[in-house]
Every structure is written in structure tokens, then in C-alpha cells.
Structure 1
Amino acid sequence: MGKSSLASRKWNFFNWYYFCMGMATLLALTVVFYIQDNVGWGWGLGIPTFAMALSIIAFILGSHLYKKLKPGGSPLVRLAQVTVAAVKKRKEKLPEDATLLYQNREMDANISVHGRLLHTDQFKWFDKAAIVREAEAEASTPPNLWRLATVHRVEELKSIIRMLPIWAASILIVTSSSHIESFTILQARSMDRRLSPSFQIPPASLSIFSNLTMLTGLILYERFFVPFARRFTGNPSGITCLQRMGIGFVVNILATMVSSFVEMKRKAVAARHGLLDNPKAIIPISVFWLVPQYSIHGIAEVFTNVGHLEFLYDQSPESMRSTAAAFYWIAIAIGNYIGTLLVTLVHKYTGEKRNWLPNRNLNRGRLEYYYWLVSGIQVVNLVYYLICAWLYTYKPLEEVCENVEGEDKGSCNAGELELPRKESA
């Protein structure tokens, strides 16, 4: 019961986290944008500034409610120590019995509050960092961590290495979605955006449909999809974070394919009215033709982005969860940079006469070809992701057992080697 309720609370946390981010974006695209456009930039910039000040005050007032742990040192330094120790002992032979590798509960206490990582057989070369030499076994002083690492610290490095292929797959998802903030806006500018004779939808505000779909999707996911899936899987979260990401990958491919069909429709209407050579003309086709691709992208976010964030947080070592959250944003940054690089290469190598992405007249371009190219890249990326997810091994944590009354909780995993510690007088 405890494990299930914990998993459910964790799952709710990530959905609510992304829901709050979506609400903030929605307010920025509606209220703040309207004030900037109709009242003035002074108020438009002043309101977000005031909101940030309130958030800082709320953070300071609420910080005492958090459970604070003693710092356990830099996680990056620990990864470096394991690597250096393994290199120094590269000629050592690993023991056949993994319980002979070095363990030290006291040393790992601050970085393994919720359970130590157990030994795994993957990347066994790094286990050499935990080999105890004879001189180290006889020493009564704490070991030099640049020469001897605990199994928990070795497994921290292994966990990060295991996560990297899954993390890398998410980069191309960001790349494939980068056109939402560029080419789709150019398409919207050439389409009929009138809601009334006096009001037009600003092109950049179309992303509101993606946010609305994402916010609605998160609620439906939590209230309906998870209870339904739980009946078949027995998983408190309905499906695993890797399965959630995989569904998002498929939905994202569908979104890009829809983008291609909409562009072909837009150009067909432009050709029918003789507007292909007039880049500033408003083509008589409703801008709401772009809504389906925005909405499908919103659905993809419910699965891919939230699943990715949950995966990084859940599978990273306990002491490196803030670093894992940074990985999430690093993937977004790299994905956008690769998107820019892809556009540059396509523009450069598709020629001047039949350029897919011309500088001045999108009507004479081949934007639909670009969308098909991105769809193909995503299909390859999906195959890569499925292979990585199939081979992925979830991190193993020690089990904590309930002992008889009057005794402390202990680990169920016995037979661990710890070096002798010098007793104080």
C-alpha cells in the first residue's frame, strides 16, 4: 500500500508541475499579450515583474516547510572519482562474488536517504573502482575516494549512463516541434485570421490551442486514462514512464504529418485563387486549419514531456535529481539548436529555384517536404527509442525490512563488505 500511494503521489506531482507551467504559459499568451497589445508595454512588462516578485516571496515563506538534507558533496565530483578509481584499477581482476566489492553505509548515508543502489551487472568495468586491495582492507582510516569507491557511488554513474540513450531520444522530439514557433506562424500570417470584422487572431497566439489541449489532456489522463490502464497493468501510474514517452513519440509523428497535409491544402487554395506569387496576400482559407496540428502537439506533450521529466527524476540517483531536471532543459535547448541547424541545411542544399524554405515567398516553397523529412527523422528516432527502452534496466534499490519490535529497520540485503573503521576511545 505504501509503495502504491507513493507512486501515485509522485505521478500526481509531475502532472501538476506541468499543469502549472501550462497555465502560466496560457496566461502569458492571453492576458499579458492582450495588455501589451491594447494597454501598453509598461503594464505588459510590469505585471510579469510583479508576479515574479510574489513568487519569490512565496518561495521564501514556504522554504521552511521543505525537508532539508545535509549536503553530500558535488555529484559530478563523485562521478569523476568513480571514473578515476576505475582507471587506476583497470588491471585489477573483478571478484566473482559481487558482495566482496566495497560498501560503506556511513559514507553513503547523506546521498542514499531512501535506500542505496544495489549492484548491477551492466558496465562491470566501473566495478573495478570498488575493488578492495589488501592495503586498503588493512587501513583503519577512511579510504581515498579517488582510489576506492562504494558500490552505491559506482551505481550512481551506471544509472546516469543507462539514462543517456533515452535522454538523447527526447532531443529530436524537441527538434521536430520547433517549427510550431516559426513556420506555422508564417503560415498563419498568410491565412484568414478574422473572428469578426474588427478582430483578428494574432499569429503567435495560435499556440494557445496547444496549451489548452495539453491542460485538458493532463486532467483527462489523470482522471480517466490512469484508472482504466491500472486495471490491466496493476501499475499505480497506469503505465510506466517509458511507455508514456513512447506513446508521445507516435503522437508527435502524427502531428508533423498533419502539418504537411495542411500546408498542401493551404497552397492548393492559393493556387486556385492565383496567389502563389503574392507572398503578402491573405489566402482565403481559415487559420483554424492549423488548430489540429497544435492540438495533436498538445496531446503529445501530455505523454512525452511529462513522461520524460518523470523518467529523469525517478531513474536518476537520489542525490542527482536536480541535475536530472537540468538534463530535461538541456535536451530542450539542444533540440532547438538542432532544429535551427536542420532548417539551415535544408535551406542551403535544396537549391535556389525550388528551395523548400525560401526567404521571401513561402507559397513557392516546399514546406510540406520539410515536414515529411522531419516525420521520417522521427520514425527513425522512434525505432531507436524502442530499442533503448527495451534494453533499459531500471535502477535497483535496497529493500528495507521491518524487524521485530524494539529494533531498527534494516536492509534485507546481507553479505556486504565494509572496511573496518577505527573506533573512537
Structure 2
Amino acid sequence: MATTPLMEDVTVDGSVDYKSRPAHRSSSGGWRSASFIIAVEVAERFAYYGISSNLISYLTSSLGQSTASAAESVNTWSGTATLLPLLGGFVADSFLGRYRTIFFASLIYILGLGLLTLSVALTSTDVSECESTKNGTSCSPPLFQVILFFFSLYLVAVGQGGHKPCVQAFGADQFNALDPKESGAKRSFFNWWYFSFSAGINLSLIVVVYIQENLNWVLGFGIPCIVMLAALLVFLLGSRTYRYSIKGNEQNPFIRIGRVIVRAARNWRSAPLGLAAEEETYMCDQSSEQFKFLNKALLAPDSIMEGQEKCRVSDVNETKALLRLIPIWATSLAYAIVFSQTTTFFTKQGVTMDRTIFTGFKIPAASLQTFIGFAIILFIPIYDRIFVPLARSLTGNPSGITMLQRIGTGMIVSALSMAIAALVEKKRLKVAEEYGMVDEPNATIPMSIWWLVPQYVLCGVADVFTIVGLQEFFYDQVPEGLRSVGLSLYLSVIGVGNFLSSFLVSVIDKATGKYGHSWFANNLNRAHLDLFYWLLAGLTVVGFLAYLHFARSYIYKRANES
């Protein structure tokens, strides 16, 4: 009996299974394989946020740093952790591949978390003294312990740098963009990916942060290490089901792109004579007008470069695709600065407020970050199942709205969250003044911590639009051979945003400290976080206007350019 096309076990072009045989759609990839990878990401986010979410509290207590110094330390480390994926993505796309990069990065990650737990254990003997001292800087631990702590912390950043860009790209690789059904699943993948790891973050913020503040820091740092070890085991368990992308005989995309830039620079004075039919057609195409100077790379090599491989139209398109991303990347940085506040000053605000839930139980200030996760978990199904179909019926776009429209919407919500944060902080300062607590930095302000919930929720809604939009945009718009680097570019937005936040805090702290109390004084009742939040709201609006200018003229990569 002849097999009908519907019953054929179709192979997936460009993918192999774990034995390097052509990958079959029925036995590899899809949601089954993606589920293993999503589980790994949930565990990794649990581990990462178990360290990062309450790091500022550990630095200001056990390590005795000032509020401003601790915020700078957190922002610098977070920035490094989200810039290193550029290196990890390069290594994966050029040398090791995603699977092996994830494996080796996980080992480094686990080693870093293990050493971090050891360093905290060595420092824990000083915690009680630090907590009983009004000025935390007077009870700093020995220099060796501080060095070990930060060495371990940055080792975690190195591990995350290899892990983060590859896991999400590897998960998206489990869906074939050329198959209509799997292509639709891939669009949903980015939404449900963010939904799932937000659940992991929330679990960490509830469980790990509570343990850190109410039991001990050693256990609070040790649990993420154990969870990350479990993540590696889950990842290996799924190895037989994965689709592994294979590279053709084409050159490394970085070499091709570099050759286009060098060739265009050498030919910038040459006239377009003697072009082949394909190149001549491309030169006449209106879409070739953007970054027109790169079209000169299609000209025949000069005598110096004679004998070298010619640049193709596809090589020029790859280079233009990367250059088109730069304005979008740069104008997203204002959003990233706001993104970094949720783990620093938002937490320090919460420490000063009434955190009593019921008699005998106080919610840890860092646990309020769970409202970001809850907002994401609640809003993503609404976005995916209600908003997208409704918008699709109006716009005709399969995704409801374009990726750039999605990113811009989140920027607007982000500016609103900063405005609300500024108003709430102004209210907190007023309550402290009314009750005569301005000069009592350790006193609890009689104002419920629930006042902070709206700013956290709006940050979560903004993430659903902007963060998920950036993930999908950079994955989709880079050349196919640079998918890991593409996701690294989205992460680098957050990384540079953290560094810019650290720079802003440092400059403003020095400038305002000269004329009285710094905006980030250790005594937050004398500080002016409200003015800082207004500044960030203004920067976000300016960034959005610049983003809008470039987004309106952006030319999306054509499907056949992949």
C-alpha cells in the first residue's frame, strides 16, 4: 500500500537527531523537546534570581556596603552578566554549537554557585554583628572573603553568558519555520517561554528570598546551586529528542559580514560596471537603497584582492540586516535602565515600609518582585489568546501587531511605571516627615508595602510587550547563522542598561552629595528617589520618541533572506 504524503515521516531540512541522522518531524523537536529546554530555563532563572533579587540586601548587610555602592555593584554585575552572552553567542555560532555551549556553560555556572555558597558560609559568622551595627560599613568581612565572593559572583556571570543566549535559541530551533503549523508554534514559543521562566523567578522570590532573610544566607545561596545541577540533568535527559542544527559548507557568517564591510570600503570610489545579472537586478531594487554604500561590495575585487571570493547579494543583505538593528538596539537602552531598578531601589524602598502580612510574619521586601512575575503570568495568556486574535482581525498581521509596535508599547507602559513609582516615593517621604521619622533610617514607616504593587505590576506588563518583543525581534531579524548572537543582542540591551544605570547613580550621587543629602543617601528618608524616578520617566519618553523615528523607517528582513 502506497504511503500518502500526510503519512510520510517528513525530515526537517538543516537539522539532525542525536545520532547525526536527518531529524524526523514525528520523533524530534516540537513542544516535546521544547518542554525539556523550558524546564531548564525555569530552573536557571530560579537559580539566577535566587542570587540577584536580594543581592543588594546582602551587600548592605553582610558585606557592609553603602546603598549607593551596593546599587552600583549590583548594576555592574548584572550588566556584565547580560553582556557576556555576546561572547557566549559568538562561541556557540562559530565553534561549539548551542548544545555543547549550554553543557559547558552549565558546569561553569554550577562551579560559580558552589564557590559563592562557600564564600557566604565563611562570611556568615559576621552577619549578627553587622545587623546589630547601625552603620553597616564598620563590620565588613576580611578582604579575602570579599574577593572570593565577587570572584564567585562573576564566575556565575560567565556561566550565564554561555547559557542564556543558547538555551532560548536552541528551544526555538525545535520548531521548523518553513512548516505552517510549527511556524505558528514558534511564535507562541516566545510568549510561553517568558511565561514559564517568570514562574521560576516567582518561586525563587518567594522561597529563596524568605530563606535568606529568615533562616540564613548559606542555605539561601546553596539552594540555587542544587537547582542548577538538577537543570543540567534535565537538559541531558532530553538529548535524544532534540533537533540539532547543522551548518552547511558556507563560511562563518562573521567572516562573510567582515568581507562585505572591507570590500565596500575598498570599492567606495569605484563605478558599478560589469555586474552579474543578479547583482545588477539588486542594485535596481528599491530595497537596496538603505545602507547603499554596502552595495559597492558586489563589485569585482581590485588587483590587491584579486583571487579572493566575491561577495554575494545574500552577504550584503546579512550585513545590512545587522546594521538595521543598531538604532533599535540603541533606542531601547532607556527602557533597560528602568528595568534595572526593580532589583535595587525598589527593594530598598520596601525595606523601610510596613511589611506585615499578619501577626508574626513580614514579607521580605525583595519578594515583592513576584508581582512582576504574576503580572507576566496573568498577562501573557491574555496577550496570546485574546489580544493577538483580536488585533489580527483588525490588522491582518499573523502576530496581531508587529514586533516593533510591541516593543514600543512596552516603553510607554515603562514610563508610566516610573511616574507612579515617583508619586509613591513622594508619598512615603511625606509620611516619614509627618510621623517625625526622617532621621530614623531603621524605623518602619507606617505605610503599607502594598503601595509599591502598581509599579511592579506595570513593570511586568511592560516586560510582556518589550522584553518578549526584543527576544523575538532579534532572533528573527539576524541572519540564520547568528541566532544565538541575535538573542545576545537583546540581552546586551539589558546589560548596557545596567551599566548606564550604575553610571547615572554614581554621577548623581556625587553631584547631589556636594549640596546636602544625596538622592541615594543611606537614610532613604533623606534621599530623593522620587526625583530619580521622574528623571528615568523623562529619559524613557525621550528614548521612545527616538525609537519611534527609527522604527517607522525600519525594513523587515524578508523570509527568503534566512
Structure 1 position 194, deviation (Å): 0.5
Deviates more, 1:89-98 or 1:195-204: 89-98
Q: TM-score, normalised by structure 2?
A: 0.63
Q: Is the 8 A contact 1:347 1:358 kept in 2?
A: yes
| Deviations 1:148-203, CA, capped at 9 Å, x for gaps | 21110111110000011101122221112322222222211111110112111111
Please name the residue that 1:411 is paired with.
Answer: none
Determine which of 272, 285, 288 is the counterpart of 2:434: 272
Please name the residue that 2:343 is paired with.
Answer: 181
Please name the residue that 2:334 is paired with.
Answer: 172
**CA 1:73/1:355 → structure 2, altered by over 3 Å: closer, same or farther?**
farther
**CA 1:34/1:356 → structure 2, altered by over 3 Å: closer, same or farther?**
closer
Please name the residue that 2:208 is paired with.
Answer: 32
Determine which of 317, 324, 328 is the counterpart of 1:162: 324
Aligned partner of residue 332 in structure 2, secondary structure: helix
Deviates more, 1:59-68 or 1:277-286: 59-68
Q: TM-score, normalised by structure 1?
A: 0.82
Please name the residue that 1:124 is paired with.
Answer: 292
Determine which of 385, 391, 408 is the counterpart of 1:246: 408
What amino acid is aligned across from residue 12 of structure 1 in structure 2? S
Aligned partner of residue 236 in structure 1, secondary structure: coil
**CA 1:208/1:17 → structure 2, altered by over 3 Å: closer, same or farther?**
same
Structure 1 position 359, deviation (Å): 2.5
What amino acid is aligned across from residue 122 of structure 1 in structure 2? Q
Supply the distance in 2 between the matched residues of 1:366 and 1:37 (Cα, whole angstroms).
26
Please name the residue that 1:94 is paired with.
Answer: 272
Please name the residue that 1:219 is paired with.
Answer: 381
Superposition pairs for residues 26-425 of structure 1, below 5 Å?
26-37=202-213, 43-64=219-240, 65-70=242-247, 72-94=250-272, 99-101=277-279, 120-132=288-300, 144-145=308-309, 148-398=310-560
Structure 1 position 362, deviation (Å): 1.7
Q: Is the 8 A contact 2:314 2:561 kept in 1?
A: no
Structure 1 position 255, deviation (Å): 0.1
Supply the distance in 2 between the matched residues of 1:83 and 1:226 (Cα, whole angstroms).
39
Aligned partner of residue 153 in structure 1, secondary structure: helix
What amino acid is aligned across from residue 322 of structure 1 in structure 2? S
Supply the distance in 1 between the matched residues of 2:279 and 2:550 (Cα, whole angstroms).
29
Supply the distance in 2 between the matched residues of 1:98 and 1:34 (Cα, whole angstroms).
67
Supply the distance in 2 between the matched residues of 1:194 and 1:97 (Cα, whole angstroms).
75
**CA 1:188/1:249 → structure 2, altered by over 3 Å: closer, same or farther?**
same
Q: Is the 8 A contact 1:347 1:355 kept in 2?
A: no
| Deviations 1:46-95, CA, capped at 9 Å, x for gaps | 54333323322332343342143125443222221111122222222125
Q: Is the 8 A contact 1:242 1:389 kept in 2?
A: yes
Structure 1 position 308, deviation (Å): 0.7
Supply the distance in 2 between the matched residues of 1:119 and 1:230 (Cα, whole angstroms).
26
The two structures, once aligned, show a CA RMSD in angstroms of: 2.8
Supply the distance in 2 between the matched residues of 1:160 and 1:28 (Cα, whole angstroms).
36
Q: Is the 8 A contact 2:424 2:451 kept in 1?
A: yes
Structure 1 position 379, deviation (Å): 0.8
Structure 1 position 30, deviation (Å): 1.7
Deviates more, 1:45-54 or 1:196-205: 45-54
**CA 1:168/1:31 → structure 2, altered by over 3 Å: closer, same or farther?**
same
What amino acid is aligned across from residue 308 of structure 2 in structure 1? N
Supply the distance in 2 between the matched residues of 1:398 and 1:49 (Cα, whole angstroms).
43
Structure 1 position 102, deviation (Å): 8.6
| Deviations 1:104-154, CA, capped at 9 Å, x for gaps | xxxxxxxxxxxxxx9622112111111236999xx9xxx623xx2111011
The structure having more radius of gyration, on CA atoms, is 1
Supply the distance in 1 between the matched residues of 2:552 and 2:335 (Cα, whole angstroms).
19
Please name the residue that 2:194 is paired with.
Answer: 18
Supply the distance in 1 between the matched residues of 2:217 and 2:341 (Cα, whole angstroms).
27
Please name the residue that 2:39 is paired with.
Answer: none
Q: Is the 8 A contact 1:94 1:127 kept in 2?
A: no
Q: Is the 8 A contact 1:26 1:211 kept in 2?
A: yes
**CA 1:280/1:55 → structure 2, altered by over 3 Å: closer, same or farther?**
closer
Supply the distance in 1 between the matched residues of 2:508 and 2:535 (Cα, whole angstroms).
10
| Deviations 1:350-377, CA, capped at 9 Å, x for gaps | 2434445142322122221111111111
Deviates more, 1:306-315 or 1:83-92: 83-92
Q: Is the 8 A contact 1:102 1:151 kept in 2?
A: no
Supply the distance in 1 between the matched residues of 2:302 and 2:418 (Cα, whole angstroms).
61
Deviates more, 1:41-50 or 1:369-378: 41-50
What amino acid is aligned across from residue 246 of structure 2 in structure 1? L
Q: Is the 8 A contact 1:241 1:310 kept in 2?
A: yes
Aligned residues: 380
- Residue identity (%): 38
Supply the distance in 2 between the matched residues of 1:370 and 1:314 (Cα, whole angstroms).
35
Q: Is the 8 A contact 1:119 1:155 kept in 2?
A: no
**CA 1:34/1:276 → structure 2, altered by over 3 Å: closer, same or farther?**
closer
Supply the distance in 2 between the matched residues of 1:135 and 1:151 (Cα, whole angstroms).
21
Deviates more, 1:46-55 or 1:2-11: 2-11
Q: Is the 8 A contact 1:312 1:328 kept in 2?
A: yes
Aligned partner of residue 394 in structure 1, secondary structure: coil
